[in-house]
A and B are shown apart, each in its own frame.
Chain A
Amino acid sequence: MRYSALAILRQVLNGHRGWGPAWRDPEPQSDYDFIVIGGGGHGLATAYYLAKEHNAARVAVLEKGWIGGGNVGRNTTIIRANYLLDGNQPFYELSLKLWENLEQDLNYNAMVSQRGILNLCHTDSQRDAYRRRGNAMMFTDSGAELLDTDGVRAMYPFLNFDDARFPILGGLLHRRGGTARHDGVAWGYARAADQRGVDIIQNCEVTGFRIENGKVLGVETTRGYIGAKKVGVAVAGSSGRVMAHAGLRLPIESHVLQAFVSEGLKPVLDGVITYGAGHFYISQSDKGGLVFGGDIDGYNTYAQRGNLPVVEDVVEGGMSLMPMIGRTRLLRMWGGVMDMSMDGSPFIDHTGVDGLYFNGGWCYGGFKATPASGFCFAHLMATDRPHEVATAYRLDRFRTGRMIDERGAGAQPNLH
C-alpha cells in the first residue's frame, strides 16, 4: 500500500482495519543472488538499492534479532556532510543528497529535518581549522558559513559565551545538516525493499560461511544453510565476530559510545550544537527530550553499556556549554557498540574471498552515512567496482599508506 493523505482518509472511513504489515515475514529460500547480512540501516539500505538501482530480483537480508534493533536504533540521529578530507566529503555529500529526497523515494516519513548543525570554536586556531574545513565543504557544495560571536549569539543566546577558559568565538554553521527519525529510517528502507521483492529474514543468525576455492557459496545460519552468489556483510559493531567466520582479522576494535536523553521539555533548541572545547553534542527531539552524547568510553567492549566516568565527563561538557540544562533530569542513557577503525574512517570493499564483501568500521558516524553506505555497497556488490565516491574506503589502505585520518590520531582507535 502506498502511504498518502488519501490512504489515511480511506482508512479513517474504513475504521483503520485495512492497514497491513509494512513488510512480509518470509521463510528463507534455498538460495539467493544476493545476501546482505545485517538488518540495520546500512544492510536494509543496501538491499533496497540493490533492488532499485541494480534490478536485483533475488535479494535477502538476514538479521540475527529484529531489524533496526542495533545501532540504527541507538544513535543520536544526526545527519551531516561536514568532513575535511577528499576520501570522505564527497561520500557524505552524496549521503546528504539521498537524505534530502529519502522520504519521497521510500514513501515513508523518516522525519528528516535540516535544522542546521553549529560547531562552536573557542580558540583562534580552532577558528582557522573550521575556516579550512568550511572551505573543503564548499568544494562539494555542502554549504558552510563561519559565524562570529554575535552570529552565534543571535541563534543561541543562552550559551555560556564568556567562559574564562573557553569563550565562544564563533562557529561553523552547516545549514543542510540536521536530524532524522532513526527507527523510521530502518522501517522505511525495510518497507521499500520488501515492496521491491527483498526477503527480510529476522531471527536468523549467520553462524558461518561456506567457502570453497576462495569463493563464497553461501552462509550457514540458525535457520539452515542458504546459498548465495554474493554475500555482503553490514554488521558494524559485530564486524569482527562475523568476519572471523571467514577467517578475516580486521583493522577494527569494538568500543562503546553512550548516549543520553533528558525528560521532555518545551522547545529550547532548534538545531544541533557541538561544543568545541570538550566532546559534547546536543539536539532536541521532536518529543522534547534533549538528545546528547560525547566521547566513547575508550576500551574494547561488546557490552551495550558504558561506565560512569564518561557520563560525568559528558554532562560536565553540557553544563559548561549550556548551564541552563543543569536542572533538567536525565530520562534514559544507553550504549551502542562501535566498529572503531584504525584511522576513524569506514570500509566498503571486497574481501580476499570472491563474492564476499565487507561494509563496516563506521566508528560513531554510521547513522548519517546510512543512505550512501547502502547505495555504494549495493554498487560494489552488483558491479564489483567501488562507487566513485567510495573508492577510498579500502581494507588494504593501511598497507598502502592511504589512510583517511580526519582526526590525525594514528592507529589508536579510541582516539578517533
Chain B
Amino acid sequence: MIINHPLLGPRDASEFTYLGDAALIERPDWQSETAQDEFHDYVYLRDNPAGTHRELWFHEQGDRSWLVVTRNTMTHEILATELARDVARKMGRGK
C-alpha cells in the first residue's frame, strides 16, 4: 500500500505503524458521570467495518506525524489522507 502523505507525498505503508480506528482521537471526558463505561467502550470496542474505515497511522520512519487515513478494508484502496492534527483541531480538540 502507498499512503499519500499530505506533506511528503506518496510513501510506502511499511514506513508507518498502525494504531487503529480514528475514533481513538475522541477520548472521553474523564470527569463525566459515565466515564467508566465510556472509557471501556473507547479502549476496547470497535466498529470494525467492512468497507470505508478511518484510521490512525504514525509515520515512524519518516516525519513522525500522525495521519488519519481513509481506506477501504475490502480492497485496501486509500481514499483520503489528512494530518491527524488537522482532524483533531476541526473536532475542537488540541491546540
CB neighbours of B40 from chain A (8 A): 398-399
Cβ of B19 to closest chain A Cβ, rounded Å:
8
Cβ of B62 to closest chain A Cβ, rounded Å:
15
Q: How far is the CA of A413 from the CA of B46 in the complex (A)?
A: 11
- A66: Cβ under 8 A from any B Cβ: no
Q: Which of B42-76 contact A (CB under 8 A)?
A: 43-50, 53, 55, 71, 73-76
Residues of chain B whose beta carbon lies under 8 Å from any beta carbon of chain A: 1, 12-14, 17-21, 40-41, 43-50, 53, 55, 71, 73-76
- A35: Cβ under 8 A from any B Cβ: no
Give the nearest-CB partner of A240 in chain B: B48
Q: A298-B18, A398-B43 are in contact. Are A303 and B13 (CB under 8 A)?
A: no
CB neighbours of B19 from chain A (8 A): 412
Contact A250 B1 (CB under 8 A): no
CB neighbours of A250 from chain B (8 A): 45-46, 48
Give the nearest-CB partner of A411 in chain B: B43
Contact B73 A302 (CB under 8 A): yes
Q: A300-B20, A300-B48, A413-B20 are in contact. Are A249 and B76 (CB under 8 A)?
A: no
CB neighbours of A309 from chain B (8 A): 12-14
Q: How far is the CA of A299 from the CA of B17 in the complex (A)?
A: 9
Q: Which of A389-416 contact B (CB under 8 A)?
A: 398-399, 411-414
> Can you spell out 14 A-B residue pairs with CB atoms less than 8 angstroms apart?
A251-B44, A253-B46, A298-B18, A299-B18, A299-B55, A299-B71, A300-B53, A301-B76, A302-B74, A303-B73, A303-B75, A309-B12, A398-B44, A399-B40
The majority secondary structure among interface residues of chain A is mixed
The majority secondary structure among interface residues of chain B is mixed
Cβ of B73 to closest chain A Cβ, rounded Å:
5
CB neighbours of B43 from chain A (8 A): 342, 398, 411
Q: How far is the CA of A186 from the CA of B72 in the complex (A)?
A: 31
Q: How far is the CA of A238 from the CA of B50 in the complex (A)?
A: 9
CB neighbours of A241 from chain B (8 A): 50
CB neighbours of A238 from chain B (8 A): 50
- A226-258 Cβ-contact flags toward B at 8 Å (1 or 0): 000000000000101100000001111110000
Contact A253 B50 (CB under 8 A): no
Cβ of B70 to closest chain A Cβ, rounded Å:
12
From A240, A253, A302, A303, give the contact of B20 (CB < 8 A).
A253
